[in-house]
Amino acid sequence: MEIITDGFSWLTDPANWSGSNGVPIRVWEHLQLSLIALTIATVIAVPLGLAIGHTGRGRFISVQVANIGRSVPSLAILGLVFLIAVERVPALAFGSLPTIVALAALGIPVILINTYVGIDQVDRETVEAARGMGMSGMQVLRRLEVPLATPLIMTGLRLAAVQIVATAGLAALIAGGGLGRYVIDGFYQRENDRMVAGAILIAAISVLTDLVFTLLARLAAPRLTSGSKGSGKIPA
């Protein structure tokens, strides 16, 4: 247990909180990487999930691809993108790009599946009634399917965000920034306290990310009763 307390001592040392290798900068880098990766994953996976859920087309293939995607380790993707980049665009090989690609790839399957399932579980009768009243496909999607799928879409974003934040430390392997620096550098330089502090920080902001997205999900949930917001259940 001494190693853990060492980690906390490292964190309480003011010297480690300033400069270009200080905690605030590393946390900022870590979050930046994660946010960019999450944004890219969202921009790709949400529209795709909406399209699949709304049309019912490409359902099988997308779920299969997503499942395969989920089982490929991020480290492998990072290595692959890094190698391709070294060969094609060496200028971008070291730095954020390979990490961002790997992290986005990590986030896409879970967002895609949750978005698709979110749309798919919207009551078909309600959808048909909406079509029967003369809503166009886009109106059905915007006014009915997306609002009702929001809780599941938010769950997908939360899971993806937590996974990405927890994995973003990989960046340090290819000379990127973020909290992974402490873990990697601490490991190679035999500074166990620094390594543990890095791990603690990554764990802490992962938990924090989970909380933030849980809160966001609650705010975004559709209102189903006239009582307090978000307390309603979707009627059977």
Query: Would you tell me which residues interact with another protein (CB under 8 A)?
Result: 123, 125-126, 128-136, 139, 143-144, 147-148, 222-226, 232-235
Whole-angstrom Cα Rg for the chain: 21
Q: Rounded to the nearest whole angstrom, what is the least distance from the CB of residue 151 to another protein in the complex?
A: 11
Q: Which ranges of 13-145 does DSSP label H, i.e. alpha helix? A: 23-55, 59-71, 74-88, 90-93, 96-120, 124-132, 137-140
148 or 183: CB nearest another protein: 148
**Of 197, 229, 151, nearest to 16 (Cα)?**
197
Assign 50 to helix, strand or coil: helix
**Cβ distance to another protein smaller for residue 1 or 138:** 138
Q: How far is the CB of 183 from another protein (least distance, A)?
A: 44
The DSSP annotation for 127-176 comes to HHHHHHTT--HHHHIIIIIHHHHHHHHHHHHHHHHHHHHHHGGGGGGGT-
Q: How many CA atoms does the CB half-sphere of 210 hold within 13 Å?
A: 10
CB of 164 to another protein, least distance (A): 29
Q: Give the C-alpha separation, 118 to 221, whole Å.
A: 12
Token pair 């300033």 is at which residue? 18
Q: How far is the CB of 109 from another protein (least distance, A)?
A: 27
Closer residue to another protein (CB): 153 or 171: 153
Q: How far is the CB of 133 from another protein (least distance, A)?
A: 5
Nearer Cβ to another protein, position 108 or 122?
Answer: 122
Whole-number minimum distance, CB 227 to another protein, in Å? Answer: 9
Of the pair 59, 229, the CB lying nearest another protein is at 229
Our CB check for another protein shows the closer of 124 and 190 to be 124
Write the single-letter amino acid at 188.
Answer: Y
